[in-house]
Structure 1
Amino acid sequence: MKIRPIIIYPFLIAFYPVIFAYAENIKGLILPEVSLPLSVSFFLTLMLFLLAKIVFRDWYKAGIAAAIIIIVIENYILGFDFVRKTVLDQFIKGKHKFGFLVVTTGLLIFLYFLRKSKQRFRLSASILNVFSVILISLPVVQIAVYEISNKSPTINAVTLPKLEKNGHPQTGELPDIYYFILDRYGQNKTISSNYGYDNSVFIKSLEKKGFHIVSDSWSNYTTSALSLASSLNMSYLDNLAQNPGINSADEKILLKLIENNLVVKFLKSMGYKYIHVGSWWNATAKNKYADRNIKGALALSELSQVIYSRTIFYPITVKLKVPLLDGRYAQFIRIPSQFSEIANIPKMKEPTFIFAHFLIPHPPYVFDKDGNFITEEEENKRSERDNYIGQLEYANKKILELVNTLLTSAKDNKPIIVIQGDEGPYPGEYLKNSLKYDWKKAGDDIIQQKMGILNAIYFPDSRYESFSPVTSPVNSFRIVFNTWFNQKLELLPDISFLSNVGKPYDFVKKIERNQK
C-alpha cells in the first residue's frame, strides 16, 4: 500500500513572503506582528485549495493549482516591477491592465492544461513538499540566528535621570502638555539654503502666539528611533554602544524605550492621562501604556502593508482608494483626522499629556500645500523640492490652526506645547547611496541639513531663560520638568551623534554644540 503524501506545500509557499518580509525587516519588529498576515495567508490558501478541489476533483491537482494562484497573488508586483526593467515592458507599457491581462491569460492556460492532464501528480506533491520546507526554512533559520545573536537589552541599559515623585507644579492646576513631532522638519536655515524656501512666516506666526524658537537646534541623532528614544527619556544612548554593541543592527531596545518612556511614566505618576497619537511607523503606531490611542485611520501595520503592497490586489485598492489597504491614502485620511481629534482634547477634565508623531513632511508625499491628495504617480513627476515644500506648507497650516485652537480653548490654564522635528531631511548626496553612506566623511553643509531641526516651545508664562540657541531635544523635558514641576535635573551638553545605516549604535561622529 502506497502512502499518500500530505499536501502542505501550498500553505508553506503562501507563508514564505510573510516570513521573508519579517526576516528582511527584523531589526525593528517583534514576532507577534506576523500573526495577522500569516492568518490571512492561511485562510486564503485554504479557500483556494478547497475551491480547486471542487473544480479539479483531485487533491494533487488542487494543490498545484492553489500554489500557482498563491504565487501569482502574493508576488505580482515583484514580477511586474521586474518586467518593467526588461524589453518586455514595451508590451505592457508600465500599465497594470496589461499586466493583469498577461497574468490572467497565462494562469487560465496553465489551469486548463492542468485539468486536462491525465497525470496524478502524487510524486510532484512529495517533491514540492520537500522544496517548500527547504524554501521556508531559509528565512526561519535567518530569524533564529538573528534572535539568538541579537538578544535585546532591557531599558535599564540606558542611564535615566531620577525624578522627584513629589514634585508639584508651580501653578495651582496641572497644565495639559502637548509634544508634537513633525518628522524630518528641518531648521529654517536648511529649508532656505537647500530648498530655496522662506519659512519665516510660519516661524514668526508661532512667535506672535508666544512660542520660543530655538533658532539653531540640532537633533541628537540621525534617525527617528534613536531621536525619540533619547528625547522621551531625556537621556543620551551612549551605553547602547556596549550593549547591544556597535555592530548590532537590532532596534528593539529603542522601541522599548519609546513605548515605556520616562516622560510618560513621570507624568502619569503626577496624575496625567496619556493620549498617544500614532503614525504608520510600527514604533509609534500605538502605545500599550496610553490611556487612549488615536489612530486616525484604520490601516494595516507597517509589516502587513509591505507584504500587501507586493500582491496583485494592491494596484486595485490604490485605484479605489481603500484606506485599510492603501497605506498612502490611509496617511491622507490619518493626518487631518488626528489634528481634528487633538483639537477636542482641551475639553477633557483631567490633565493630559499628548504625544503625537506626524510623519510629515516625511515621505510619502501625499499632500500638496492646500491639503489635496497626491497620487504616487503625481509624486514621482514632481521634484523632491516641490514635494517636500508642499507637504511642509500643509504641515505649517495644520499646526497653526491647531495651536490657535489649543490656546484659545484654554482660558485660565494654558497648555505647554513642544513642537519638534526628530531629524532633518536627508540630503540628496545621502539618498544616492544610503546603504553605504559614511557620515564620518560628510561635510558641514550635509550635516547641517540632516541634523538641523524645528524646535518651538510654548510656556504659558514665557519662562524661557533655560533655553539656549542650540538647546536640543534631549534637554526639552528636563527644562519642562525643572520649570513647571520643581525638578532639579542637570541640563546635558547639547551633542549630536551620527551613525550609519545598519549600525545605529556605532556613533562615527560626535558633534558638541556650544551653549551660548
Structure 2
Amino acid sequence: MLIAVIRKKLEQWPVHVLLLILFFLVHGYRDSDGLAPVPDLLLYGSIVTVIAWILYLAAFRFYRDRLRAGLLISLLLFCYLFYGVVQDAMQQSASLTGMARDHVLMPELALLLLAVALGLKMISTLPVKLTLYLNLLLLIYVLADLVLLGVRPFKKEPAVVSDTHFVKPACDTCAKPDIYLLLLDEYAGTRTLMKEFGYSNQDFVNGLRARGFFVADTPSSNYAYTPFSMACMFNMDYSGWKGMEQDINAKHYTMAANQIGRSPALQELQRQGYELQNLSIFDILNRPAAFDQGFMALKLRLVTDKTMWERFRKSLFWQFDRKDGWGRKLGWDGAGRIGKGNSEMISRTMELAKDTAKRGPQFVYTHLLMPHPPYLFDSVGRRGDAGYLSYLKYASREVGKLVDTIMKGEKGQAVIIVMSDHGMRKAGVDWASKEFNNNFNAVYLPRRNYDYFYASISNVNQFRMLFNSLFDSKYEVLKDSVVF
C-alpha cells in the first residue's frame, strides 16, 4: 500500500526539479573531493531553488499543468547547471567541436528550450510514465552519490616533500622585526620588461637599493600561476604539482590554496611569536582573506565551474571588465571591485605600519592584484585600460609610496619584501618559459645582512633565506627550478 502511494505521488508531482538541484550539489561535492565548502553549497543551492520555484510558477501559469511546467524547468536547469559537462563532451568529438563554442552552443540551447516550451503547449498529453521515470532516475543518482560519499575516501592533496630537519626550533635570542610581504601579482622581471617592451625599470630598482634593499638581478618563480607559486614559496619546498599543468582546474587551485593556508612558513612565524595580518586573497591559518573575491568564492567554483554562467563569464571576461563593455553598462564591475580591493589593502597596510600600540611582532601579507589585469590605471594614475606596461609603472609608484610609509612608521626596523608571484603571462608562450617565470624580488633587512640572498633566487628559497637571516635557521638552499 505504501509503495503504491509513493509511486502515485512520483507520477503526479515533478519532484525531479528539486532532485536535479540536489544531485548537482551532492555530485559536485563528491567530485571536488570534499574541498567545496558545505555552507556555500547550501547557500548556492537555496538561491538556485528559489529561482527554479519562481520559474516553475511562471511555467505553471503558462501551461496550467504541473507536469509540463516541471519538465520544462528541469530541462532549463540541466542546460544551465550541466552546460560545461555537455560542452566538454562535444569538444571530445572532432565533428562537434565547432558546435561546442559558446557563441554557437548557447543560441542552440536557447532554440531547443523554446522549441520544447512550445511543443509542450501543443501536445495533448505527456507520456504517462515520464515524470515517474525522471523522479526515480534522479533519486537513484542522488542516493548513489550519498552512498559513495560514505564508502569511498576522498583523494588526498599532493604532499609537500620536506627534508628531515624541516621544523626548526624557535629562536629565543633573535630579534623579531615586523615583516611585510608586499606581493605584486604578475610583476615582470627586468629581463622580460626589456625584451617585451624595451623598457628598463632601473629607476624603481635604484630607488629600492637607495633605501637599503637587496634587489635580485635574475630572480624567478617556480610556477607560472599564483596559487602554485605561492604554495611553493610558503611551503619552502616544491609542492608536487608536476604533470598536471595541461589540465589545471578549480580543484587544483583549491588544493594549492589549502597548502598555503597551513604552510610551514606561516607555522614557523607563529612559533617565533608573530601575529599574522592577512591582507591577501588566500585564507591563512584560519584567518580569512581580506581581499574581496566576490560572491563566487574560489572553493565554491569547484562545483559551479561548469555552469553556463561560469563558462560565459570566462569567455567574455574582458568584455565584462572593459570600461565601455557590456558588464559595466549592466552594473557588473569586477574591475572596480579589484581596484577597490587594491586600495583597501594598501590603506590597511599603511595603518598597520603606523600603529604604535603593537604588542608583539607581526607578519603582514599584502597581496595586490596589480599589474595583473584588468589594467585599471595608466602610468600617471588616470583611470582606464592603458595596457600592462603603463599599469606596471603605476604599480611601481604606488608600492614605492607604500614602502616609504612602512619605513617611516617602523623607523627602518621592519623587514620589507617586495616581490611578484610570477612574471608576465603572454599568449603563445610556454608555461615553463623564462618569460613567464622571470619575476621581481627585493628584500629589505634592518641589519642589511644579505649574505644568504643571491641574484638568481627563486620563490621556493625566499623564506628559507629569510629565516636563515633572521633566526639563524640553517635551511639549505634548494635548486632553483622552473616547474611550469
Cα distance in 1, alignment partners of residues 116 and 216 from structure 2: 65
Cα distance in 1, alignment partners of residues 33 and 193 from structure 2: 32
Within the candidate set 140, 150, 156, 1:151 is matched to 156
Does residue 289 in structure 1 map to residue 291 in structure 2?
no
| 1:448 equivalent in structure 2 | 434
Within the candidate set 163, 167, 173, 1:162 is matched to 167
Q: 1:17 to 1:368 in 2, by over 3 A?
A: farther
Cα distance in 2, alignment partners of residues 342 and 164 from structure 1: 29
1:55-454 pair list within 5 angstroms? 56-70=63-77, 111=117, 114=120, 118-119=124-125, 122-129=128-135, 150-152=155-157, 161-170=166-175, 174-237=176-239, 251=252, 254-279=256-281, 284=282, 286-290=283-287, 293-296=289-292, 298-302=294-298, 303-304=300-301, 306=305, 307=307, 308-310=309-311, 318-322=328-332, 326=334, 328-348=335-355, 349-350=357-358, 351-370=361-380, 387-411=387-411, 414-430=413-429, 439=432, 447-454=433-440
Is contact 1:275–1:293 with CA below 8 Å preserved after alignment?
no
Residues 214-254 of structure 1, C-alpha deviation per residue, up to 9 Å, x if partnerless? 1111223444333322321333447x879x9xx99974664
Q: Letter of the aligned partner of 2:392 in structure 1?
A: L
Structure 1 unaligned spans of 5+: 379-385, 440-446, 500-516
Q: 1:333 to 1:72 in 2, by over 3 A?
A: farther
Cα distance in 2, alignment partners of residues 337 and 346 from structure 1: 14
Deviation (angstroms), 1:181? 2.2
Cα distance in 2, alignment partners of residues 120 and 221 from structure 1: 56
Is contact 2:160–2:237 with CA below 8 Å preserved after alignment?
no
Q: Letter of the aligned partner of 2:257 in structure 1?
A: L
Q: 1:232 to 1:211 in 2, by over 3 A?
A: same
| 1:383 equivalent in structure 2 | none
* TM-score, normalised with respect to structure 1: 0.69
Q: Letter of the aligned partner of 1:449 in structure 2?
A: E
Q: 1:474 to 1:157 in 2, by over 3 A?
A: closer
Does residue 8 in structure 1 map to residue 15 in structure 2?
yes
Is contact 1:28–1:255 with CA below 8 Å preserved after alignment?
no
Is contact 1:178–1:355 with CA below 8 Å preserved after alignment?
yes
Is contact 1:277–1:356 with CA below 8 Å preserved after alignment?
yes
Cα distance in 2, alignment partners of residues 299 and 185 from structure 1: 27
Cα distance in 2, alignment partners of residues 329 and 15 from structure 1: 34
Is contact 1:14–1:45 with CA below 8 Å preserved after alignment?
no
Within the candidate set 30, 37, 41, 2:48 is matched to 41
Deviation (angstroms), 1:265? 1.7
Cα distance in 1, alignment partners of residues 343 and 137 from structure 2: 48
Q: 1:154 to 1:490 in 2, by over 3 A?
A: closer
Q: Letter of the aligned partner of 2:68 in structure 1?
A: K
| 1:382 equivalent in structure 2 | none
Deviation (angstroms), 1:493? 4.0
Cα distance in 1, alignment partners of residues 236 and 112 from structure 2: 58
Deviation (angstroms), 1:77? 11
Residues 312-340 of structure 1, C-alpha deviation per residue, up to 9 Å, x if partnerless? 9x9776533345xx4x4432332222222
Cα distance in 2, alignment partners of residues 387 and 72 from structure 1: 37
Does residue 496 in structure 1 map to residue 481 in structure 2?
yes
Q: Secondary structure at the match of 2:387?
A: helix
Deviation (angstroms), 1:59? 2.1
| 2:323 equivalent in structure 1 | none
CA RMSD in angstroms comes to 4.7
Is contact 2:221–2:459 with CA below 8 Å preserved after alignment?
yes
Q: Letter of the aligned partner of 2:410 in structure 1?
A: A
Deviation (angstroms), 1:65? 3.6
Deviation (angstroms), 1:298? 4.6
Is contact 1:212–1:456 with CA below 8 Å preserved after alignment?
yes
Cα distance in 1, alignment partners of residues 399 and 422 from structure 2: 18
Q: Secondary structure at the match of 2:481?
A: strand
| 2:93 equivalent in structure 1 | none
Deviation (angstroms), 1:262? 2.1
| 2:447 equivalent in structure 1 | 461
Q: Letter of the aligned partner of 1:203 in structure 2?
A: V
User: Higher mean Cα deviation, 65-74 or 453-462?
Assistant: 65-74
Q: Secondary structure at the match of 1:330?
A: helix
Q: Letter of the aligned partner of 2:352 in structure 1?
A: I
Q: 1:79 to 1:275 in 2, by over 3 A?
A: same
Cα distance in 2, alignment partners of residues 387 and 77 from structure 1: 31
Q: 1:223 to 1:151 in 2, by over 3 A?
A: same
Q: Letter of the aligned partner of 1:295 in structure 2?
A: F
Structure 2 unaligned spans of 5+: 91-96, 321-325
* TM-score, normalised with respect to structure 2: 0.73
Q: Secondary structure at the match of 1:220?
A: coil
Aligned residues: 444
